[in-house]
Amino acid sequence: MFLKPGENPNPLCTACSGDQKNQPTLGLVMIKGMQHNGRFYRNGTILDPRDGSVYDATMEVTEDGSRLKLRSGCSGRRFFTSTLMRRIERRVLLSAQRFAGKLDEVITNEAHAHHRVDLAAP
């Protein structure tokens, strides 16, 4: 999920049902019930935390292990969507997280500097 400026940075899944209702979306279990068989995962579900919808889902890891194919939708209606996700190395993820932290720090410092200038202006 990508938040828009001004949106709650810690949104709750208010539209979810059961024990997931009103839980923070960060850390929420979104894929459930997958049955593993080799490179394939079948008979599971995936949650859309934006509206609480739960869809049938299957997953397949590519032969080289670098990508995950996720297929989800309403099986009764034969409407499905497919997503191909690329695996990133842990070191790349950690580097991106450090960069994001520094970026947040710069933005926060810039905001504070901007407010100090505004407050000091006649």
Cβ partners under 8 Å of residue 51, min gap 6: 15
Write the pLDDT tens digit of every residue in 44-56: 999 988 889 999 9
The pLDDT of residue 117: 38
SS3 113: helix
112 pLDDT above the threshold of 50: no
C-beta atoms surrounding 66 within 10 Å: 11
**Fold classification of 1-87 (topology level):** Lipocalin (2.40.128)
- pLDDT tens-place string over residues 17-67: 999 999 998 888 999 999 999 999 999 999 988 889 999 999 999 999 888
State the distance between the two ends of the chain, measured CA to CA, in whole angstroms. 42
What is the residue type of 67? R
pTM: 0.64
- How far apart (Å, rounded) are the C-alpha atoms in residues 32 and 42? 10
Question: What are the structural domain ranges in the chain?
Answer: 1-87, 88-122
